[in-house]
Each structure stands twice: as structure tokens, then as C-alpha cells.
Amino acid sequence: MKNEQTSIVSQIGRASAIVMIWTLVDKALAIGKEMLTAHRFGVSASLDVFNVAYSFPGTVVSLFSAALVSAFVPLYLEWRNRSSQEADSHATWLIYLTTLLFAVLAIIFYVIAPEIIQVIGYGFQPKEKQLAVILERLLILLLFIDGAGILFRGILLARKMFFHLYVAPIFVNITIVFFLVYDMGLGIYALVWGFLIGTLIKTVYMCIALRKEKFQYGTPIPFDHQKMKAFWLLTIPMLGSQLIANSNMLVDQVMATQLSAGSVSTLRYAFRINDLPIQVVIMAVSRSIFPFISEEVAAGNRDNLQNIFKYTLIFLGFLTIPITCLMVLFSEDLVVLLLKRGAFDMEAARQTAQTLVCYSLGLFFYAYTFINGTFFAALQKTKILLYMGFASIFLNVLFNVLFMHFWGAKGIALSTSATMGIISIWFIFLLKRHLGITNLSQMLSSFTRIIFAAAGMLGTGLIMVNLFEFTSISRLIYAPVTAISVSLCYIGIIWMFRTADLDTCITTLTNKFTMRKPIGL
């Protein structure tokens, strides 16, 4: 049993490494895209309009994408255990249905685009609303283009074809960067066409990759109403998890239209930087463990599920809590380094940095929402996610109203962190019950050490920054020196007071997982 569980952790580690590498490439391109966007548009009103117009189709696709994939993977694996042909036939039927669904949605939303803008852009001036309607109608095409490829992603994930799955999104950022570099007088439309054409290339690439990997397009098995019904019954409640992860950004941007021009863009820049470690590391872990969790659920291996949950939670804390400390210490340096150029001036950098700190305070909880959704989806207990999704929107709107009155865009970011904290703590106790975990003392012991090490890291950083500011040394020199020093301080404290669980996380993270050391599995 121990060898089997050790093998699972190693497989997850290897899969996560593949995902991290290609996600890192994609996010490096995404940073380049944000740098070019900041240089070209700064925190202008036109960029605010684009961000709000894109947020609607972007959020709808994100909601359906993760929900459809989460519902599809365990079902596809179940079908494939019986017959590969059966699984591919049912998957093809679902591809037809989802493509039709998104075509209908795209047509409906295209027609009612002015009404959509009246709701999500209610704080805009008439001229900005007119531009928003034009951009919205173009960007609505993303629903059809990206929606048609959602189940391609599900099939790639179920088959553990991580290379193709994570190379495909790279085409989107490459295309956007191309349009921003070769502007051709398009202005804000460079972003629009970059997204549309890049998404089309991504979808076509996944389709061709599946064909080359012997996926059997076709429907030799007749349409099965029961199979399709089971799929949609799982999908609809899964929207709740995605409401937590994706809709709050839309809510934040919509409410920020009431604030001064540039507030929406400030939120978007800060969110994208805060989201970077989530996309590179946490999403890699979340997506790579999903097929493994689904297999363990199907096999009824409750002990393995409990251990995967425990180690994943410790892993999240080990990575995200020190990142939050670094954000608190060096947010302005990071924003200046990445974005301060062209139309993005020092005042914009300062506002974005302060907003980034407020987002980063909830980094651990935001990261946990992705892992949480993965477990509930694999357990096929998705109604809870739906209820909690609506609760998160309610809390976020409530906190936004309270906080934005005092702190503007920073208050909106702080509201999101508070909402994620409340929802995540609630979720942890719910999942503890569903997995049958009776003792969390080992995990709490590891978290105590993580928090203690992070406190030492933050204190050391504050002392070093204050000491350096009395000298004539440039911040460009002492900021990276301090960042490296406090990171080593954190690792040193963790190493001195590590638990067996932390030791496992560290060795897995550094790809030195061996069976010589006890891992408590």
C-alpha cells in the first residue's frame, strides 16, 4: 500500500512539473503582453472599456470551461474503463452539443450586447458605453471559438496529455503580443483581434493534437440520453465552484466603473500579477491531480484521497504564504519593474502596487478554491459548490460596497481577499467531513511552522529594508538582495522546524522524492 501511494505522489509530482514548465512559458508571454499593454495604454479609459467588455465573455467561458471539464473527466474515465470506442463516441456527441450551446449563446449575447453593457458598464460615460458595445459584440465571438474547444481540453486532461494541453494556450499570448508589437493603427482593437485569432489557433491545435493521438472522432454508438443527462447534472452544480474563482473579478471590475478612470485597469493589472503564481504553480497542481483523484474515487481508496488532500493543502501554504510576504515587501518594485514604461507612470505603479498587496493577502485562500473544486468534482458532490458560489458573490458585493467607499480600488481588492478567506475556511471543514478526516493535528502542526517561518521572513525583510533606506545604496540593488535573503531565511526556519509532512512537500517540490525517508503515507 505504501509503495502504491508513494507512486501516486511521484506521478502527481512529475505531471505537475510538466504543467508548470509550459505554464511558466505561457505566463512569461503573458507578462510580456501586460508590459506591452501598459506601455501602449497605461491605465486609460479605453483600456478600462476593453477590460470590462472582455470580462463578460471571458468570465462566461471560464465558468463553463472549468465546469464542463470537471464534470467530463470522471465520466470519460469511467466510460473508457469499459471501452475506448464508447468513451470517444460519447465525447464526440458532447462536443457537438457544447459547440451548439455556445453558438446559441454567442448569437443571443451579440443581440443583447447593449443591454449587457448597460449592466456591467453602468459607471461609464455615454461615449465609453458606445465603444464598449462595439468591443463586446466582437469579443462575444470568443464564446463560440473557445467554447467549441472546451471538451478538447477535457479529453486531453483525462488522457493525461499534459504537453498538448498546456502548449495550446501559448498561441493566444503569442498572437496578442504580435498584434501589440505590430500595432498597424488598430489601437485598442489590437487586443480584440489578438484574443480572437489566438483563441482560434489554440482550438484548432487541440483538435489536430487529439487526432494525432488516435482520438476517434465519430459517433458509432447512438446518442445516449442517460449519459448526456449524467454529464449535465454534474456540470450545472460545478458552475458554483467557478463562480467563486472567476465571477468575483467580473464583479470587482463592474463595481470599479463607479470609481475614477483607470480604476478598472488598476484592478486588472494587480489581479494579473497576483494570479501569476496561481497559474504557474497552483493550477498546475490542481489540474494534474484531478485525473488521479478521479481514479482514487472510482477505486474507493479513501486513505489515498485523505493523504492527497493533506499534502496538497500543506503544499499550498508552503508556497503561497511566503509569496504573500514578498508581495507586501516588494509589490511596488515588482510593478515598476514589469509595467512602468510609456503611458504607465509612477502614480499608476503606486496605485497598482497597493492594490496588489490587498489581493495578495488572500493568495492562499484564492489558491485553495481551485484545489477545493477539484476534490468536490471528483467526489461528484457539486451542489455544495453551487451554493457556496452564490454565497461568495453575495459576500464580495457586500464587502465591495463597504470597502470601496473608504479605499477605492484597494478596498475592492481587499474585499475579494476577505471573501476568499471566509469561503475557503468553510470549504476546508466541509471537505474534511466528506473525506472522513478525523484528525488534522499533523496538518495544523505543519501550518504553525509555515506561519512562524513566514513571520520571521517578513520581520527580517522589514528590518533590512529600513536599514538599507538609511544608506545610499540603490533600491534596484538592495531589493533583490533583501528578497533573496528573506527567502533563504524562510527556507532555513522551515528546514530547522520541519515536520515529516513538510519534508515530503519539500522533497517532492525539488524533485528529489525518495523512498528512503518516511512520508507518513
**What does the pLDDT look like over 112-134, one tens digit per residue?**
999 999 988 888 888 999 999 99
Q: What's the confidence (pLDDT) of residue 485?
A: 94
Q: What's the confidence (pLDDT) of residue 488?
A: 93
Burial class (CB in 10 A: 0-12, 13-18, 19+), 347: exposed
pLDDT by residue (tens digit) across 456-515? 999 999 999 888 888 878 888 888 999 999 999 999 999 888 877 777 766 655 543 333
Q: What's the confidence (pLDDT) of residue 521?
A: 34
Please identify every stretch of the chain with a pLDDT value under 50, giving residue numbers as ranges.
1-6, 511-521
Could you give the CA distance from residue 182 to residue 189 in angstroms, rounded to a whole number? 12
Q: What's the confidence (pLDDT) of residue 316?
A: 84
∠ CA 64-206-235, rounded to 5°: 20
Run of H or E residues at 484 = helix 475-496
Q: What's the confidence (pLDDT) of residue 274?
A: 86
Q: What's the confidence (pLDDT) of residue 8?
A: 53
Residue 344: φ, ψ to 5°: -95, 100
How many C-beta neighbours within 10 Å does residue 481 have? Answer: 12
Closest C-alpha to 227, from 219, 215, 216, 217? 219
Q: What's the confidence (pLDDT) of residue 356?
A: 93
